[in-house]
Amino acid sequence: MNKQADVIIVGSGLAALQLAHHLHSTSHVIILTKTKIRQSNSYIAQGGIAAVIDKDDSVHSHVEDTLKAGRYHHFTEEVERLAGEGAAAVKELIAGGLGIDREADGQPSLGLEGAHSAKRIVHSGGDATGRHTVEHLLATLPANVEIIEGEMAYECLLSEDRSVCIGVKTKNKEGQIHHYWSSHVVLATGGIGAIYPATSNQPTMTGDGIAMAFRAGAEVTDMEFVQFHPTLLFKDGAARGLISEAVRGAGGVLVDENGVSLMEGVHPLRDLAPRHVTAYEIYKALARGTAVFLDIRRVQQFEKQFPTITALCKRNGVPISKGFLPVAPGSHFLMGGISVDSNGCTTVPGLYAVGEAAHSGVHGANRLASNSLLEGIVYGRRLAAFLNRHIPVKSRPADMFYYEKQLKSESAITLSKEELRARTMKAAGIIRTSECLQNHVSYLEKLGIQKWIESGLDELDRDAIEKIDMHINSYLISRAALLRQESRGAHIRTDFPVEEVDWCGKRIVQTKDQINIRGGQHERNPIRIHA
């Protein structure tokens, strides 16, 4: 099948839907998702949306909190724009019909989460903000948007000289290959959580969009910064789901198996310290053989405040009434991704990225709680405004690039997702060392990672393509983590335990051909805007 559209969006999370919502109603927009439209990280997001809508709050305060949490590894002007535009974007959603939680007097009920200095978290449905927001956008989606489910995008279609993206190639569950043509292809595929053994992400988050962009020649940046959420429900040796940071904002306390506070004396914000701090403390306790719990006895009306978490605990046989929820860290959010400018343009003309798949420079080395949904809302709207100025579609080049070599199915048969997850966690998990990282990079290179990057994937089934994408992302993360010889935010090296001034603002940028260190503390994203 061959189809053409004005804009093609790969992914179905909040950033994708916000983008589709704001594109011209005269444009033909196609949303492609490899599973179902509601199977996204956004849909299961328990946290809210961080936005300055309270008169006693300020954009300056939100910016400062973001910079502190991310250890000043940001494009500062992008953070200022995010916080500044965020309030208007959230108010627009509310005015458009998104129902938010309110106090008895009708004012927004604003929550507190880790590393925030003010109550500024907007919630909808308690701990179901993601689901409510996605449902609102789906219910109000314009008629010009076509949704195609069950098709996995796996390669960018490129011009013959590989200089311009002109579409995407997909594969359905039956193995049929489809071509979608457009001068504007947006990757909104989310993060890479599923390449780790324990994650808060959907199991489909295998980094497909990042691998697609990288193989197409786009730059990726900051891949070493992977955030681990401190509190995943941990039962029978496995992570069962996320326990929102809002629980600690409502009074939950991290304790060890003896009831001793884990965060007392560790950080001034104690249980609301930045995520890399709390995750590290829990990791060290578990490594000592000490179980860790979230003490929720002080949280008032827990079941009413957190119905989603309550249901999660009941499904897994964890009684809320006892007041102690067993927890462990798990991969949660990628601060790095496909390099984009302020509008969402990548380094490949015709290719764009938005949401967690993109590196916009707003999250630094460690994302501030509830800034992720905000990013999707703000950048989705901003990219739409940019694309609206460059539609209609230009005629696509007559000649297209074809891979000289196609990977055979036997190339991926020996690859195990479970083995890769274990190896990635050991090398590039919460704690990293030069030896483990180097061993993992060498292991991936011996497997033939460079060959996979430069070969076509037409002859592989979807599971095999996911394996290839997971290995590519593991390689990108590990290579960058090996090169960054310091500890900063979510990147913790035991052999380089100090946050180095000389590394502040320096970014590790990777392409198919090279890896290099770029920039300094105040550098703006250098990508040239293209139409």
Structure tokens at 314: 């009941």
| Pairing of the two strands 358-359 and 337-339 | parallel
**In contact, 431 and 492? CB cutoff 8 Å:** yes
Residue partners of 464: CB distance under 8 A and separation at least 6: 409, 411, 412, 413, 415, 457
Going from the C-alpha of 274 to that of each of 134, 263, 509, the distances in angstroms are 27, 11, 25
Q: What is the DSSP string of 368-401?
A: PTTHHHHHHHHHHHHHHHHHHTS-SPPPPPS-B-
**Distance of alpha carbon 422 from alpha carbon 195, whole angstroms:** 9
For CA atoms 116, 119, 125, 127, the dihedral sign is: positive
Is 275 noted as a catalytic residue in this protein?
yes
Q: Which helix (H) or strand (E) holds 7?
A: strand 7-10
The neighbouring-strand residues paired with 239 are: 234
Burial of 165 (0-12, 13-18, 19+ CB in 10 A): buried
**Distance of alpha carbon 94 from alpha carbon 376, whole angstroms:** 16
**Distance of alpha carbon 191 from alpha carbon 207, whole angstroms:** 5
CA nearest neighbour of 181 among 14, 30, 381: 30
Token look-up 């960018």 returns: 156
CA nearest neighbour of 272 among 249, 247, 255: 249
Structure tokens at 477: 């993360």
**Active-site residue, selected from the candidate residues 71, 275, 421, 479:** 275
The neighbouring-strand residues paired with 359 are: 339
Query: Catalytic positions, please?
Result: 275
